[in-house]
Amino acid sequence: MLEGIKGGRLNDFLTTNEVEDIHSTSVRILSEVGMQCRSDRILKFFENVGAEIYMKESKTKRIVKIPESLIKEALKNAPSNFPINARNPKYNIKIEKNKTHFSFGASATPYIIDPESGEYRKPTKNDLVDAIRLADALENFHSVGAIAGAFDVPHKVQYEHEWEVLLNNTSKHISFWTPSGYSARKALDMAEVIVGGPDELKKNPIISLGGETVSPLIIPKELEGLLEFALAGLPVLSGPIPFGGATAPITLAGSFALSNAESLSILIISQLANPGGPFIYYANSFQLPFTKNAQYAPEATVGGIFISAQMARYYNLPSCTIGPISLSKVTDAQAGAELMQGVLLPTLMGINFVALAGHLSSGNVASMEATVMCDEIIGHVSAILDDIRINEETLAFDVIKEVGPGGNFMTHKHTLKHMRETYVAKHKNNVFFDGTHESLWIKGNRKDAYMRANEKLIRILNEHYPEPLPKHVQEKISEIVKEAENKKLKKRKD
């Protein structure tokens, strides 16, 4: 079992009245405006509970008006803590109050920064294998998602190939995405092979899935993937991403209320499929980069981290967020600042599951170096927020008295006894927060943070090979991928 970071040390930002104003606006959005549901399967679930459904004009105008009672029911049923397991039980985690866990990647980006040339290029299935091996090695990631897409396989079966890579190359929990119910089913089939069947998988949830609405207020067919996972009893994460000024109001509060409404609609879908099933909440308030400089808006942090965490607490739901992802195109100073912000703030707010580590350029570019940096940043933040031991031994009055003015503590027994408990002693191979003297830095070829992370990355890729799946399991999983290829690729020829 991996312990989460002790999060939740920041106080709430909004008053209870303000939180309730947001909530009641979201309730009005769902009940008075409604969501357009583009999935027949999901629509059926709403029909079954008697939600008002308006089939106007064309087939695509299917508006579901979600009454407050459904929202209340879903909030009542959804659990506030649950296990998130892993192929290797030593990597099991528990989603619980004020414990923060970080997840590697989550998005199949179309570019990867080549570790050798430093150039952008299209990622391949092999790159994904490397990235997942890396994720398996980096100790502060308790969950793993794809960081780069497998763009050298046929596009229609890209996700099946990616799930295959994930399941083969890490024994940690896997939290990822699928573009359809079919792909989600295939991912579940693969995981079932590993744990021994659907009932075993429900009890031992080694995979989870994120799902997104399309803003404003559309339940897309792609959400059938999330439905499949919910039906299978596995954890699902909501991820509505409206952009203020474009797909949501420009004002932070309105944008958040809309996002919150969409997130609640995903919660309801999960609870209609499986009452009491594990759900992780997220809402935000991104802003369209509408100025010439297309800057990153602080409003996204306020909504996606501060308000989102507070709403989750109000709903008594676990929370997730988009964490250490950078808008920078390279792993530079901007990336460093954004990565630290993306680690520190969600943890301080006690968000339980922080995903998307290691993506640059808003999630279009994968940087394995950025994940190496993130891993160390998470370690630092974890140490900063860890419990502080104040007792006679740690206050060390007698030691101070013994050493006295002008003495030194370097070789005192107390120093030798406790120095290995310090963070730097436990992490002596870290490279990001470099503290060497400038003379050594000059002699050592002036390596900046990127170069140091790159060296560590290459070393890990040369050394770390994850615990493999049994041969017959590997074969079964690749059969499932072939099955998908036969179905999807042959269809196209017909």
Partner 1 sequence: MSEDIFDELSNSVLTFESDEVKKTTQKALEKGIDPIDIIEKGFTKALKIVGDEYEKGEFFLMELIAAADCVKKVLDEILNPLILNKKNRRKTLGVIVLGTVKGDIHEIGKNIIASFLFAAGFDVHNIGTDVSVETFVEKAREVNADVVGASALLSTTLPEQEKIVEAFKSAGLRDKIKLIFGGSPVTEQWVNDIEGDGFAGTPLEAIKLVKRLLNINE
Interface residue with partner 1 among 293, 410, 462, 490 (CB under 8 A) is 410
Q: What does the alpha-carbon distance between residue 192 and residue 44 come to, in Å, rounded to a whole number?
A: 26
Q: What does the alpha-carbon distance between residue 426 and residue 381 come to, in Å, rounded to a whole number?
A: 14
Tell me how far, at minimum, the Cβ of 242 lies from partner 1, in Å.
Answer: 49
Tell me how far, at minimum, the Cβ of 336 lies from partner 1, in Å.
Answer: 24
Total site size for partner 1, rule CB under 8 A: 17
Q: Is residue 446 part of the contact set for partner 1 (CB under 8 A)?
A: no
Tell me how far, at minimum, the Cβ of 436 lies from partner 1, in Å.
Answer: 8
Q: What does the alpha-carbon distance between residue 213 and residue 124 come to, in Å, rounded to a whole number?
A: 28
Q: Which is nearer to partner 1, 384 or 416 (CB)?
A: 416
Interface residue with partner 1 among 119, 438, 463, 494 (CB under 8 A) is 438
Bridge partner residues of 174 (DSSP):
144, 207
Q: Is residue 434 part of the contact set for partner 1 (CB under 8 A)?
A: no
Tell me how far, at minimum, the Cβ of 428 lies from partner 1, in Å.
Answer: 5
Tell me how far, at minimum, the Cβ of 439 lies from partner 1, in Å.
Answer: 4
Q: Is residue 333 part of the contact set for partner 1 (CB under 8 A)?
A: no
Cα 397 to its chain centre, rounded Å, is: 44
Q: Is residue 395 part of the contact set for partner 1 (CB under 8 A)?
A: no
Tell me how far, at minimum, the Cβ of 430 lies from partner 1, in Å.
Answer: 11
Q: Which is nearer to partner 1, 394 or 436 (CB)?
A: 436
Q: Which is nearer to partner 1, 438 or 463 (CB)?
A: 438
Interface residue with partner 1 among 59, 90, 401, 437 (CB under 8 A) is 437
Interface residue with partner 1 among 408, 462, 472, 490 (CB under 8 A) is 408
Name, in order, each residue with C-beta under 8 angstroms of 51's C-beta and a sequence gap of 6 or more. Answer: 64, 65, 66, 67, 70
Q: Which is nearer to partner 1, 413 or 472 (CB)?
A: 413
Q: Which residue has the tokens 């120095």?
A: 419
Q: Is residue 116 part of the contact set for partner 1 (CB under 8 A)?
A: no
Residues 412-431 that bind partner 1 (CB under 8 A): 413, 415-416, 419, 425, 428-429
Residues 128, 149: contact at Cβ < 8 Å? yes
Q: Is residue 439 part of the contact set for partner 1 (CB under 8 A)?
A: yes
Tell me how far, at minimum, the Cβ of 421 lies from partner 1, in Å.
Answer: 12
Q: Is residue 411 part of the contact set for partner 1 (CB under 8 A)?
A: yes
Pairing status of strand 141-144 against strand 99-104: parallel
Q: Which is nearer to partner 1, 295 or 436 (CB)?
A: 436
Q: Is residue 390 part of the contact set for partner 1 (CB under 8 A)?
A: no
Residues contributing to the site for partner 1 (CB under 8 A): 408, 410-411, 413, 415-416, 419, 425, 428-429, 436-440, 442-443
